[in-house]
Structure 1
């Protein structure tokens, strides 16, 4: 049997002199690490089924406390005894509804009080003027499972509806149910698709069975522990966990942990070829991988934590949630994976086990390798290569002017079929579009009539009521002639409910609450009632969310760039290289966003994008793109110290090219998996990040950065001593 097989190689004299306890520690420490991760993951695994207990999809709770919509929402309980979420039930027919139809529908609606989760206060059946539709407002308790209650309401009414009558449940409760339903597969389908994609890629890359399992186990254990910590922080109210945050956490941890694992496994393979003992190879690989992994993870964490500057609670919470995920991805890649690979030894790479070769030159470059050949192309025409790359990227970035990221209607958030969206369309055909989702206006009691007159004077307002405990329906109409029923002399007008000297008006809009026309109406009303009233409600919440998102991306993007630039300067001990890396990353992001805009508008025909889409795309692409910069440039710097800058660039590209390509494909595949969740925001993030990562992998890190660095030469390390004449070497081709 060959003595070149490291696990059975003849021990050196130094090995023989090693203390007896050393071998025990080398076995015990990896075993303990595996055991600790196994126990932690075993505890965290069941929390996949408990995420709904601590997650929220209420947009108003995402807004800052200073937003008008938030201030109104916080005070609604002062005027009403219920914080129920209104469901608008719309019943339509192609014919005029008969008296028997209306009677059957009235009975069905009034019987909804038997449904658990439906609160008292169901409105009477309200027929449409055209006689072909009717609506009713059903209050649904916000503390329960809204989606389950909505589904029961829909089923009960559909069963009781006369022939030819179609039932829809829309309004805030209906759209919430649709959104919850869209996220229902996030911990099942999403994980399976992402893990399957990663497994296939790893098997193709390594042509091994055991190594992909070890890498996937590392990713899943990291995700289980991250979810455990995040769940308890959300339970304690420290973090806000939403469906989209949960999906991004899953994908980010799997992708990042796999990337870091790929870097370590590549280093471990190198060491096994030149080192006989697998323990020594493990230690050497760990020492080589810890700096780039820690630096990459630290950079991503710093970029994500910049989201803490956001005024939107959903964005603010995503930063620490995702950062925690990256922390556990790093820890798993630097502790669990080395322990697993130490336990497996060379068998981890079977059937292509790395063989110990005493004559093998450490870090030798195979001149026949793909990236060695790419390096020779870069060395021959560096300036031509980077100029062509820049021109191509700039051409793609032109499309960014067509990106419509100023918000989308709530009815378009869910992709595919949506009963709430169908109901909203039916509602707009037969009733004022804003029925069931009025604008809530809080004014001082003395300004009630003045505010009502202003509201009624706007063509976008159909009707105005004031909340009144004295009224059987809980509210009383307000006209230009005052409160109460007009034309009924002798009937005393109900007294409005007063809280801290204020009253609550409800303005029914003529347009759907999530439409651009409704937003224009609310903005005009806010201008007309500035200093007099606070305006909240569904439309106001959408306005405040979009405005805050635009403010956030204007603030956070430059700060994130500055933070990452400083980290790169400290890591590379240079100024020029980090500046160039940041510029290439920004250019790559611009191209990804420009191409995405063309695809969204011309191919997918999407209705637009949320203002936070560019911000999230930027944070993920820049932070993750810098990962590959760090993988490449830390190795280039290491090789430059030994061989000189230009040879070091070519050697670094040849050694890391395969790792970066594999990591990029894995990360793109995991983010692309987000598209299986039928939510517009996640679909757009999936495409932007997946395309951007592939662009980074195959163009920016493979051609643009090496060519630019090669053209600049040793000056790229300025002011480090590598940039000085004494540190320069003649260019050689590996």
Structure 2
């Protein structure tokens, strides 16, 4: 089969190249953008069976006026002293002045005595950010507009302010996000070019993977976006970077397989066409088997309950499949036309390598296989020991610079209030059958929640304006809300305690960022327990065949 494929590709090399170019242009031009299926909302990857998703659905229905996101303006005295009554009044005036400007995508501007820290160190103004999606670029502009107005409004007041929150953090680190893909791409390309230059001493051989895989990247992105649209898949913002790494990794690998065998056949005296036919015949099965194992492993991710894995798997499987087809068609066509020039200007390809190091290593393994197996196995075990101390970390902001405005404002907020002030745990109390909640039920639940595990402060309950059977309560945890400790607290203790505290005839649903991460953690643990054994079994089957 691979011999026939090799003869066709080499015999119709220009047709293969032309067909590839036409297909690539058609796919890139007609396919949607990858951003159309990209989501920054972690919760969107969770199945509806998880409580945090149910809480969000209830919130969307019962509190439709709620903002998509929130920006928290943290105000403090420039001299670090406690806020005075005059300062608090000035903060109230600031909130009204900002609200009067009607900054697009903003609402609320809530402040007051309840927004003053117990130690009077800071006072906050909560600003709603309204958009169709949490990652709408308009939200970033809203935060920039807020910041632009804060300085002039507080001039001469002795007060200073900063804007905190997820959107504000993204604004501060936007350049970091935008440059990540470029940095990874440039580093990958430099490493690949450097490696192949060392191996083949040829700029043509070094540039070949970069040029071809760049085309494949565009084709793959278009196909993934089209598949996402067709099957209603959402992918993470990290997908493009992951695709880049996967394609350049496996693509360079497959191209090296071909070039090594092609060089060997040229050295043996084959003409350039025969050399490539034999190369595809010999290496085609290797590349196909390797790609098949990887594709199967990625497709097993469809078994995941976490949508991130479920969409990531098909996307990466498409990438590997495109690279497989490229390696067996486009690359052989190009190299068969280039012939010996693919190794220009080096003459080293004409000499059979001595491979002295490899030969000595092979001889050593052959003489003492048991000793080598034991030593290498022990080394692998030692290197893998770090997994025993591994803990998932959802505190993404900890990896960002800590000298930005949002980071400083967040620290001021957490010093003045509870650690969980920036991301309250949202608890929804509902009768579940449309019967209105009584004031006593809501107040009794709020009072009982204050004694729940890990709760530092309970904010005043809010009643739904559209559904009298639902009320919302924001709990401020005494732990960093995205820390492992807070996630374990919500998952293992807080939820059960709040469920038990719900008055008779009602039920409590726990949502908010910490609850979402707790459910993601549970889903991730479940998925790994399913995916790993299934993937191992299928890969073993491919290797056996």
Give the aligned partner of residue 63 of structure 2: 80
* Counterpart selection for 1:234 from 211, 228, 232: 228
Separation (CA, whole Å) in 1 of partners of 2:160 and 2:31: 37
**Residue 315 of structure 2 is aligned to residue 329 of structure 1:** no
In the TM superposition, 1:646-665 aligns within 5 A as none
Separation (CA, whole Å) in 2 of partners of 1:62 and 1:344: 47
Q: CA deviation at 1:568?
A: 0.8
**Residue 117 of structure 2 is aligned to residue 128 of structure 1:** yes
Aligned-partner SS, 2:235 = coil
Evaluate the alpha carbon distance shift between residue 208 and residue 50 of structure 1 in structure 2; reply closer, same or farther with a 3 A threshold: same
Contact 2:31 2:225 in 1 (8 A): no
**Residue 523 of structure 2 is aligned to residue 528 of structure 1:** no
Give the aligned partner of residue 127 of structure 2: 138
Aligned-partner SS, 1:270 = helix
Aligned-partner SS, 1:285 = helix
Q: CA deviation at 1:256?
A: 0.9
In the TM superposition, 1:2-81 aligns within 5 A as 29-42=12-25, 51-81=34-64
In the TM superposition, 1:561-640 aligns within 5 A as 561-570=536-545
- Choose 175-184 or 39-48, whichever is displaced more: 39-48
Aligned-partner SS, 2:47 = coil
Give the aligned partner of residue 400 of structure 1: 387
Contact 1:86 1:436 in 2 (8 A): no
Contact 1:519 1:543 in 2 (8 A): yes
Give the aligned partner of residue 154 of structure 1: 147
In structure 2, runs of 5+ residues without a counterpart are 1-6, 432-436, 501-506
Give the aligned partner of residue 541 of structure 1: 516
Evaluate the alpha carbon distance shift between residue 198 and residue 100 of structure 1 in structure 2; reply closer, same or farther with a 3 A threshold: farther
Q: CA deviation at 1:285?
A: 0.9
Evaluate the alpha carbon distance shift between residue 49 and residue 233 of structure 1 in structure 2; reply closer, same or farther with a 3 A threshold: closer
Give the aligned partner of residue 13 of structure 1: none
Give the aligned partner of residue 460 of structure 2: 465
Give the aligned partner of residue 274 of structure 2: 280
* Counterpart selection for 2:474 from 481, 490, 506: 506
RMSD: 3.2
Q: CA deviation at 1:51?
A: 4.2
**Residue 187 of structure 2 is aligned to residue 193 of structure 1:** yes
Separation (CA, whole Å) in 2 of partners of 1:421 and 1:397: 35
Give the aligned partner of residue 307 of structure 1: 301
Give the aligned partner of residue 81 of structure 2: 95
Give the aligned partner of residue 374 of structure 1: 361
Separation (CA, whole Å) in 2 of partners of 1:26 and 1:527: 64
Q: CA deviation at 1:41?
A: 4.3
* Counterpart selection for 2:371 from 347, 364, 384: 384
Separation (CA, whole Å) in 2 of partners of 1:453 and 1:106: 28
Give the aligned partner of residue 556 of structure 1: 531
Separation (CA, whole Å) in 1 of partners of 2:339 and 2:75: 67
Q: CA deviation at 1:270?
A: 1.5
In the TM superposition, 1:204-353 aligns within 5 A as 204-236=198-230, 238-352=232-346
- Choose 385-394 or 333-342, whichever is displaced more: 385-394
Separation (CA, whole Å) in 1 of partners of 2:404 and 2:530: 35
Contact 1:245 1:318 in 2 (8 A): yes
Evaluate the alpha carbon distance shift between residue 546 and residue 355 of structure 1 in structure 2; reply closer, same or farther with a 3 A threshold: closer
- Choose 94-103 or 442-451, whichever is displaced more: 94-103
Separation (CA, whole Å) in 1 of partners of 2:414 and 2:30: 42
TM-superposition CA deviations, 1:529-584 (whole Å, max 9, x none): 337211101111111111221222222222221111111111xxxxxxxxxxxxxx
Separation (CA, whole Å) in 1 of partners of 2:144 and 2:366: 64
Separation (CA, whole Å) in 2 of partners of 1:185 and 1:202: 26
Contact 2:482 2:513 in 1 (8 A): yes
Separation (CA, whole Å) in 1 of partners of 2:514 and 2:353: 62
Contact 2:490 2:514 in 1 (8 A): yes
Higher relative contact order (CA 8 A, sep 6+): 2
TM-superposition CA deviations, 1:598-636 (whole Å, max 9, x none): xxxxxxxxxxxxxxxxxxxxxxxxxxxxxxxxxxxxxxx
In the TM superposition, 1:475-494 aligns within 5 A as none
Separation (CA, whole Å) in 2 of partners of 1:434 and 1:351: 63
Contact 2:103 2:145 in 1 (8 A): no
TM-superposition CA deviations, 1:665-685 (whole Å, max 9, x none): xxxxxxxxxxxxxxxxxxxxx
Contact 2:73 2:163 in 1 (8 A): yes
Evaluate the alpha carbon distance shift between residue 178 and residue 34 of structure 1 in structure 2; reply closer, same or farther with a 3 A threshold: farther
Give the aligned partner of residue 424 of structure 1: 410
Contact 2:254 2:327 in 1 (8 A): yes
Evaluate the alpha carbon distance shift between residue 201 and residue 121 of structure 1 in structure 2; reply closer, same or farther with a 3 A threshold: same
Aligned-partner SS, 1:258 = helix
Evaluate the alpha carbon distance shift between residue 63 and residue 174 of structure 1 in structure 2; reply closer, same or farther with a 3 A threshold: farther
Give the aligned partner of residue 600 of structure 1: none
Q: CA deviation at 1:378?
A: 2.1
Give the aligned partner of residue 162 of structure 2: 168
**TM-score, length basis structure 2:** 0.84
Evaluate the alpha carbon distance shift between residue 423 and residue 416 of structure 1 in structure 2; reply closer, same or farther with a 3 A threshold: closer
Evaluate the alpha carbon distance shift between residue 529 and residue 225 of structure 1 in structure 2; reply closer, same or farther with a 3 A threshold: same
Contact 2:414 2:422 in 1 (8 A): no
Evaluate the alpha carbon distance shift between residue 280 and residue 140 of structure 1 in structure 2; reply closer, same or farther with a 3 A threshold: same
Evaluate the alpha carbon distance shift between residue 167 and residue 271 of structure 1 in structure 2; reply closer, same or farther with a 3 A threshold: farther
Contact 1:239 1:321 in 2 (8 A): no
Aligned-partner SS, 1:457 = coil
Separation (CA, whole Å) in 2 of partners of 1:414 and 1:152: 22
Aligned-partner SS, 1:122 = strand
TM-superposition CA deviations, 1:234-269 (whole Å, max 9, x none): 345632221222211111111111111111111111
In structure 1, runs of 5+ residues without a counterpart are 1-22, 358-364, 471-496, 571-734
Contact 2:393 2:484 in 1 (8 A): no
Separation (CA, whole Å) in 2 of partners of 1:281 and 1:37: 22
Aligned residues: 512
Q: CA deviation at 1:84?
A: 1.6
Evaluate the alpha carbon distance shift between residue 149 and residue 39 of structure 1 in structure 2; reply closer, same or farther with a 3 A threshold: farther
Separation (CA, whole Å) in 1 of partners of 2:35 and 2:515: 27
Aligned-partner SS, 1:251 = helix
Evaluate the alpha carbon distance shift between residue 47 and residue 428 of structure 1 in structure 2; reply closer, same or farther with a 3 A threshold: farther
Separation (CA, whole Å) in 1 of partners of 2:530 and 2:446: 38
